Amino acid sequence: MLDLLITNATLADGRTNVTVAVQDGEIVDVESNIQAAAHETLDAQGQLLTPPFVDAHFHMDATLSYGLPRINQSGTLLEGIALWGELKPLLTQEALVTRALQYCDWAAAKGLLAIRTHVDVCDARLLAVEALLEVKKRVAPYIDLQLVAFPQDGLLRATNALGNLKRALDKGVDVVGGIPHFERTMQDGALSVKLLCELAAERGLMVDMHCDESDDPLSRHIETLAFEAQRLGLQGRIVGSHLTSMHSMDNYYVSKLLPLMKETGVGVIANPLINITLQGRHDTYPKRRGMTRVPEQLAHGLNVAFGHDCAMDPWYSLGCGDMLEVASMGLHVAQMTSQSAMRQCFDAVTANPAKLMHLKGYGIEKGCHADFVLLQARDPVEALRLRATRLKVFKRGKVIAETTPSVSRLSLPERPHTTTWQI
């Protein structure tokens, strides 16, 4: 007898009236009208069943610290950096763990079951590293948490940042991070990319680098990152996050850059909420859009994902772990409003980041983990439009979160008594 049978589901690829069979935490069959006995049967009623949402770029060491030690009054990047510097000496491991666990509660409720978070290693105490390693262990039953060793103050700019980063990796941090555009010179930035990629190659690790998070068209560390990926045989293991300088580059240079990135297998993570908030601040008019060239990258066959980046921290006072909000902002700012492009934006918070993070057993296919989300929507576009309610969130075939369907009662003459905003 099966553990779980979900009937009459719609999948993101367009299949309808699908039945998903689950046994021992795995999907054992995905077909139409499977007839089998099960301990539990759920009628999806034609609603969308999707693999979990995935956030490929986040900062959990700072999350939910909004207002500590004071509020970012200007809402700008520079004041946020200053605030983080003021907050770091006040941090305690216990408080970091408490805030991160609360955010993971939010994430699970939103169907966000895989997160890659950067963790600052410039503090010699590695207090945040210890805290997030503890969080990783505690949330492992319901969230896949990857940690990136992130020298936030610059690998070559901060005292002993490289040594601290190596210690963090020794403690169990998963991915090598960097921030070349924050080094003192372009040369130091390029050198930091080289050193970090060599370290990743030596240890057999992935790389996820804050790269060219700037309005400067001459910030071109993504070029160096792509070169190092090719030189060191790291294809498929390297990601450039943000890449906002690309919105200021001339088209000729980009026409050379995108094929290089494709050739070397570099992945891309854009962070729509934060990018359009923190970038493009030095313009009057015309205003730059503040995000990397997502449609062009996708057209060249690059794997592009979206990240939430921040939620109620020194840089961004908003956010709640909703990757549909991230995808919606991405499609608007990138002008990806065709039917196919909107589906690409849905992929950017599901399948694409799962691939970048090398998640195993991800998807709704036979042999995959029974991890999925039932949305109050009939397809990915409607899910984006409505920021659809997560009716049920499953981990290994067990419900870990559920939300009452969004229904409004109406008292209008000669009109229906309720509406769900669905057609």
Residue 51: asked if its preceding bond is cis (omega within 30°), the reply is no
Q: In what order do the strands lie in the sheet with 267-270?
A: 53-58, 112-120, 144-150, 175-178, 206-211, 238-242, 267-270, 304-306
Closest by CA to 348, choosing from 319, 317, 383, is: 383
Give the tokens for residue 32: 């139409």
Catalytic site residue 40?
Answer: no
Identify the three-state secondary structure at position 259.
helix
Give the tokens for residue 266: 């570099």
| Alpha-carbon span 389 to 402, nearest angstrom | 9
Residue with tokens 């060793």: 149
**Residues 199, 200, 205, 206, Cα dihedral to 10°:** 150
| Alpha-carbon span 37 to 267, nearest angstrom | 43
| Alpha-carbon span 293 to 118, nearest angstrom | 23
Q: Is 394 exposed, middle or buried (0-12, 13-18, 19+ CB in 10 A)?
A: buried
Adjacent-strand bridge partners of 49? 11, 374
Cβ atoms 149, 179 nearer than 8 A: no
Cβ atoms 323, 112 nearer than 8 A: yes
Amino acid at 109: A
Amino acid at 133: L
Q: Which is catalytic among the residues 183, 213, 325, 382?
A: 213
Determine how β-strand 48-50 pairs with β-strand 372-375: antiparallel
CA–CA distances in Å: residue 394 to residues 11, 103, 372: 15, 18, 5
| Alpha-carbon span 6 to 73, nearest angstrom | 48
Q: Is 123 exposed, middle or buried (0-12, 13-18, 19+ CB in 10 A)?
A: middle
Cβ atoms 268, 240 nearer than 8 A: yes
Helix or strand (DSSP H, E) at 27: strand 26-32
Largest CA distance in the chain: 71
| Alpha-carbon span 323 to 301, nearest angstrom | 23
Query: Mind telling me the catalytic residues?
Result: 213
